[in-house]
Amino acid sequence: MTRFNVDVIAFDLDGTLIDSKRDIAESLNLTFNEVGYASLSMETISSYVGNGIVPLVQKAVAKAGHPEREQEVLELFRSIYWERLLIHTKLYPGVMDTLETFSEKYGMGVVSNKPERYTKEIVKRLGLEPMFGDQVYGGDSLPVKKPDPAALLKVAEKHGASPSRLLFVGDGSVDVMAGKNAGAYTVGVTYGFRSVEELEKAGVDRLIDNFDELLQVVEKK
């Protein structure tokens, strides 16, 4: 198996580093309960995750049949989810040990479409901040978000690397497209929120079933 020869590795957050399905779904359904809407399934809500909170809420209220209340639901969801960020959310198996191994030899960053405030709080409270430092980007950190490559290019620049020496790891097509737009290699995780078919259709370079498989995907330094 050919390994990727890179200097920097960046990661999506939800569905890649963390399993946040339950907290997001419960927060949205608590929001819906407040405004009198019927709950949605965790699977439905998870399928809406990946492009940020606004698209998530847009799709959810459209599904509920009340798109005219989008802004009200959005503000309420933001408040409720902030209080429930880490009730059930946890790192996927192998994430901490793998990241600690990589941090010794590679520059690293997080690039999420989740708002920066939530992204940085989760990274901090799960003990990942020492490995990523200031290279944690949310969907509102810059004027653009994934699939625009701007944040990935920032991570590469911070670590003094060419984008061609960058690997981006994610669970959805938006991550694959962002990586390709940056000129980086891409790895898709099959255990995340999105389907293998979606990743393959986007043209992902490699698929892994477990996070620690990344240790066999990246060229050893």
Residues lower than pLDDT 50 in the chain: none
Are residues 103 and 127 both part of a single domain?
yes
* 193 in a structural domain: yes
> Which tokens is 72 given?
């009200």
The CATH code of the domain that includes 44 is 1.10.150.240
Are residues 51 and 126 both part of a single domain?
no
Are residues 121 and 210 both part of a single domain?
yes
Are residues 72 and 120 both part of a single domain?
no
Question: What dihedral do alpha carbons 200, 18, 117, 146 form, nearest 10°?
Answer: -10
The maximal CA–CA distance of the chain, rounded, in angstroms, is 55
* 129 in a structural domain: yes
> Which tokens is 145 given?
């978000």
The pLDDT assigned to 4 comes to: 96
Please state the domain count of the chain: 2
Write the DSSP assignment of 35-60 as a string of letters. HTPPP--HHHHHHTTTS-HHHHHHHH
The residue annotated as part of the active site, out of 12, 19, 171, 175, is 12
Q: Is 12 a catalytic residue?
A: yes
Residue 137's DSSP bridge partners are: 111
The pLDDT assigned to 69 comes to: 85
Are residues 116 and 48 both part of a single domain?
no
* 2 in a structural domain: no
Are residues 163 and 195 both part of a single domain?
yes
The pLDDT assigned to 219 comes to: 87
Owning domain of residue 15: 8-19+90-217
Q: Of 51, 47, 16, 22, give the one whose Cα is nearest residue 171.
A: 16
The CATH code of the domain that includes 213 is 3.40.50.1000
* 165 in a structural domain: yes
Domain end marker among 82, 105, 128 = 82
Are residues 53 and 132 both part of a single domain?
no
Are residues 47 and 102 both part of a single domain?
no
* 96 in a structural domain: yes
Are residues 31 and 140 both part of a single domain?
no
Domain end marker among 58, 82, 106 = 82
* 33 in a structural domain: yes
* 59 in a structural domain: yes
Beta strands 8-11 and 107-111 are: parallel
The residues near 43 (Cβ < 8 Å, ≥ 6 apart) are: none
Are residues 62 and 126 both part of a single domain?
no
* 150 in a structural domain: yes
Are residues 71 and 107 both part of a single domain?
no
Are residues 29 and 97 both part of a single domain?
no
